[in-house]
Structure 1
Amino acid sequence: MNCPALPSTFFAQTLVAWQRQHGRHELPWQGTREPYRIWVSEIMLQQTQVGTVIPFYQRFMTAFPEVIDLARADLETVLGHWSGLGYYARGRHLHRAAQKIVQQGFFPRSSEELQKLPGVGRSTAAAIAVFAYGQRAAILDGNVKRVLGRFFALDTPEDAGLWALAESLLPDRELETYTQGLMDMGSLLCTRTRPRCAVCPLQTQCQAYLRGETQRYPTARRKTVRSERHHRLLLLCTPDGRWLMEKRPIPGVWGGLW
């Protein structure tokens, strides 16, 4: 992965300035250093758009205002509040992680320790560490990969190289604003389809834009060929209107659901 020699300060400073003026500032999980609230929001935001997450997050935090409330709840109750968000493994991981946090008596503070929680990967841990503790850590979710891939016109971006690049771009100050700016840029302007390049503050040095090839970057990886499975659903109802229900095993798709 070869990156053009561009001043890293331009990228960070431009993002920070843009986020201050045009980024999102009124999300329900912003304006707090409470790691529990930030952690829940970051887990919900995995593979789910902000607009969808907001009402679920608000209801979830009303039901489980503290980590101990989440830890003490039974799994079915937690999954009931998760219903509609999809990817239910995230809800199960959240419940297990809450129990682990309560058991150990403290919320992890470093990105490395946060990654030991169920369902928390490197990028999610970095986001929590930045927003909750102001630590210096780089995020690299799908949106960020797209922003970097276009800005640097990366032909074959590999994760190892992207992580190194993301870390090299970190500013010395205003890490929270920069990190939120990256998220907002990928969500609001540098979208997968129809990116809003005309109003993007990075366009003067964005290599994909200057080449007129924003749709080309980042180069898509070869998709895995998925096998097909066909299932039949049998519904059993007694004459008096009772249905036979079976709970799915915890591992696998829809684990723990009826």
Structure 2
Amino acid sequence: MPGGRLTQQERRQIALGLADDLAYAEIARRLDRPTSTVTREVMRNGGPAGYRADLAHRATEQRAHRRRQAPARGAQAPASSRGRDEEAVREYEEVLATVFMQSGLPKMTARVLVALFTTDEGSLTASELVQRLQISPASVSKAIAFLDSQGLVRRERDERRRERYVVDNDVWYQSMIASARAHATLVETARQGVAILGPDTPAATRLENVARFVDFVSESLVRAAEQARGVLYATSEGAGAGARSDR
């Protein structure tokens, strides 16, 4: 099985495979590459709908150039890498940031959230984010303000009175509950439209169906979040066992 970076020709084959609606595994088989290699390549370069071979190749070259230049800018590696493959970690961070962006987060906000999630401590200061991501303090401040408004991070003071930004075990639960509240508002507003448009009209029927659907999904989401909340506090061993028992 070939190793090393993908070539431009391989990227063109990936683009052709996506255009033909081939699964990642099939594209990988044709390239004699691991499926994970193809998945990472596509997800960090626009996703299935936005992947462009030439743009992906150019972006990869630019990332490699930035990494070579990083030591000259004084960037420091984390104090403890725990024996991880740093290149694989960087690639994964790019993939996760792309997924967050596809879910609606702005690019810089996604990068900040990824940095917090992939830090073992689960918290960073503004200066640490600036150093880690090589971005401006203003960019950090803007990203944190957005994440804070969505309940995805919280702020706390450490022993040196520095403000730290934290992603703790409960942020996804709180985010799910906030989403359910937004759904409840949509349900209420849709049903107001039913009364205004007339209960026997096609438009009102459409709105009522939307309200019933969203209401059902929202209630199911809240129940599932409550039932699964404990998973957020599982240890690595417990999380693996819980995932297996759920299957």
Which bracket does the TM-score occupy, shorter chain normalised?
under 0.3
Q: Whose strand fraction is larger, Structure 1's or Structure 2's?
A: 2
Q: Which has the higher helix share?
A: 2
Larger radius of gyration: 2
Greater RCO, CA 8 A, separation 6+: 1
> Please, what TM-score do these two structures have when normalized by structure 2?
0.25
